[in-house]
Structure 1
Amino acid sequence: MKPAPFAYHRPDSVDEAIALLAEHGYDAKLLAGGQSLVPAMNFRLAQPAVLIDLNRIPGLDAITESDGGVRIGTMVRQRVAERSTVIAARAPLITETLPWVAHAQIRNRGTVGGSIAHADPAAELPAVIVALGARLHLRGPGGARTVEAADFYTGLFGTALEPEEMLVEIEIPAAEPGTGFAFDEVSRRHGDFALAGVAARVRVDADGRCLSARIALLSVGEGPVLAANAEAALIGQVLTEDAIRAAASTASQTDVDPPGDIHATPAYRRQLVDVLIRRALPRAAEKARLAL
């Protein structure tokens, strides 16, 4: 199929893009990498009257060091982020996760900010930025504002973005000493949407006891799901096999209410949550001990 007719704009600045959004509101869509939007338009699942192409705007594809962390422009290609030495040093969870995202051909064009703003509940990067405690920098006609990643997702494909706003930058804060990360997922084939996935972050003290934990799950809800009960169960515990098994069981039984579809039943997704947490947390804990 072909997309419905639309007007096309290619602004040269963020201010120009925001002015176009303010003019057209709900009738407009921003085009970043287009790996989700263009297929939806071709099937006429999305029919924007106005398409605003961000690819000419300078500066949105920057990766910069920031107070021990890193800032990633919304138009940074996923493949560029995957290969970035700055991101690998300051946000290694992103580097570990990106090979799981679709296929290399998709990542060559797809953008970090586009995936985050699209808010697909089966996408990896939204869960990762929640696990990392990222801050999202938004711009609109009223100026700039910052939203915590955990507050950004509001429901199925829903975000805190207003119709006249755009995501311009993702800020990943510096990791504290003793912090480790891990990512894992299960899909029918590599590159398919995940049936379930986990992005984990833990911090331990010199005795190996857990000081903090963040477990963000994907493809088990309407957006990234934090396993709050499992996180609480880990605090103060040495991350032994038994402690991790108990936390994984808690997450699968109390933290998620996953949907079922033709690919997986709710019960199977619960089982995947349990298995994936038991896989990811030992790796995160080992990295945390090495980071002391």
Structure 2
Amino acid sequence: MKPAPFAYHRPHDLEDVCALLDELGDDAKILAGGQSLTPMLALRLTHFENLVDISRLRELQGIERRGDTLWVGAGTTHAAVGADDVVRTDVPLLNRVTPLIGHFQIRNRGTLGGAVAHADPAGEYPTAALTLDAVIEATSSAGRREIPAAEFFTGLWETALAPGEVLTAVGFPVWRGRSGFGVHEFARRHGDFAIAGATVATELDDDDRVKRCAIGLLGLGSTPRRAHEAEQAVIGRKLADVVADEVGELAMRGLDDIPADQQGSVSYRTRVGSAMVSRAFTDAVTEASRENAYA
């Protein structure tokens, strides 16, 4: 199939983008990398009268460290994120989820901002942003504002972006100390959407107690989500007293909207999700417990 007709706009800068969004209103849709939107348009699963292409705006591309936060421009491609040495050092979790996103062709075109704004519940970047308590920068003709990731994902493919706003950057906090990170997801084939997955970040104190823990879940609801009960259950405990399989089971507790489809039943996805949390948690605490782990 082919997309329904639409008007194509390629603004020269961010100011032009905001002006177009104000002018076009609900009939406009931002086109970034297009790796999610274009197939949906081609299959006529969605339609917009106007597409506003921001893929060539240099001001939305790049990676910059500001204090204790690493800011990634919305137009930065997956491939650029995955190849960046600063990302690898300062936000290892972001670096490690990148190879799990589709195939290299998709990573060469897809953008971090596009992935976060698309808000796919099985998306690696949205889940990593939620896990690390990232901040989403939104810009409109009225100015800029920052939205905590915990408030950004509001429903299936829905976000807290207001009419006329465009996602311009994502700020990821830099974890220091004895920190470790893990990510595991299960898909039937490499590049497929994950049936379930988990991203974990941990920090240990000098006595091997869990000082900080964040557990993100993907593919297990209508949005990316955090396993807050499991996080709180391990904080303050000696690492030797924490059983990874129990953390995985606890992370699945209370999830009453796990989807069932041709990929698997609710019970199957629950078992897979529990195993992914257990493995990611094990990787994270193993790395954090090493003497040289991101000190």
- TM-score norm. by structure 2 comes to 0.96
1:173 correspondence with 2:176: no
1:54 correspondence with 2:57: no
1:182 correspondence with 2:185: no
Matched letter for residue 6 of structure 1: F
Quickly say closer, same or farther: Cα 1:89–1:70, change in 2 above 3 A: same
Within 2, Cα distance between the matches of 1:83 and 1:124?
A: 16
Within 2, Cα distance between the matches of 1:256 and 1:171?
A: 31
Within 1, Cα distance between the matches of 2:276 and 2:120?
A: 20
Q: For 1:195-210, what aligned pairs fall within 5 Å after superposition?
A: 195-210=195-210
Shift of 1:241: 7.2
- The match for 1:35 is 35
Matched letter for residue 291 of structure 1: Y
Within 1, Cα distance between the matches of 2:131 and 2:232?
A: 15
Shift of 1:58: 2.1
Verify the 8 A CA contact 1:132 1:172 in the aligned structure 2. Answer: yes
Aligned partner of residue 253 in structure 1, secondary structure: coil
Shift of 1:253: 2.9
Query: Which structure 1 residue ranges, 5 or more long, are not aligned?
Result: none
- The match for 2:231 is 231
Shift of 1:195: 0.1
Moved more, 216-225 or 233-242: 233-242
Within 1, Cα distance between the matches of 2:246 and 2:240?
A: 10
- TM-score norm. by structure 1 comes to 0.97
Within 1, Cα distance between the matches of 2:55 and 2:235?
A: 44
Shift of 1:291: 3.3
Matched letter for residue 166 of structure 2: M
* Aligned-pair Cα RMSD in Å: 1.3
Aligned partner of residue 21 in structure 1, secondary structure: helix
Within 1, Cα distance between the matches of 2:276 and 2:196?
A: 8
Aligned partner of residue 247 in structure 2, secondary structure: helix
Within 2, Cα distance between the matches of 1:275 and 1:55?
A: 38
Moved over 4 A (4+): none
- The match for 1:291 is 294
Quickly say closer, same or farther: Cα 1:283–1:57, change in 2 above 3 A: same
Shift of 1:255: 4.3
Verify the 8 A CA contact 2:222 2:257 in the aligned structure 1. Answer: no
Matched letter for residue 216 of structure 1: G
Matched letter for residue 245 of structure 1: D
Verify the 8 A CA contact 1:225 1:256 in the aligned structure 2. Answer: no
Quickly say closer, same or farther: Cα 1:241–1:2, change in 2 above 3 A: farther
- The match for 2:161 is 161
Aligned partner of residue 217 in structure 1, secondary structure: strand
Aligned partner of residue 117 in structure 1, secondary structure: helix
Moved more, 277-286 or 249-258: 249-258
- The match for 2:89 is 89
Matched letter for residue 194 of structure 1: A
Aligned partner of residue 102 in structure 1, secondary structure: coil
Q: For 1:89-108, what aligned pairs fall within 5 Å after superposition?
A: 89-108=89-108
Percent sequence identity over matched residues?
38
- The match for 1:142 is 142
Alignment length (residue pairs)? 292
1:115 correspondence with 2:115: yes
Matched letter for residue 147 of structure 2: V
Matched letter for residue 10 of structure 2: R
Within 1, Cα distance between the matches of 2:81 and 2:12?
A: 23
Aligned partner of residue 194 in structure 1, secondary structure: coil
Verify the 8 A CA contact 2:78 2:110 in the aligned structure 1. Answer: yes
Shift of 1:174: 1.8
Within 2, Cα distance between the matches of 1:147 and 1:176?
A: 23
Verify the 8 A CA contact 1:216 1:227 in the aligned structure 2. Answer: yes
Query: Which structure 2 residue ranges, 5 or more long, are not aligned?
Result: none
Matched letter for residue 33 of structure 1: G
Within 1, Cα distance between the matches of 2:23 and 2:56?
A: 20
Q: For 1:243-254, what aligned pairs fall within 5 Å after superposition?
A: 243-254=243-254
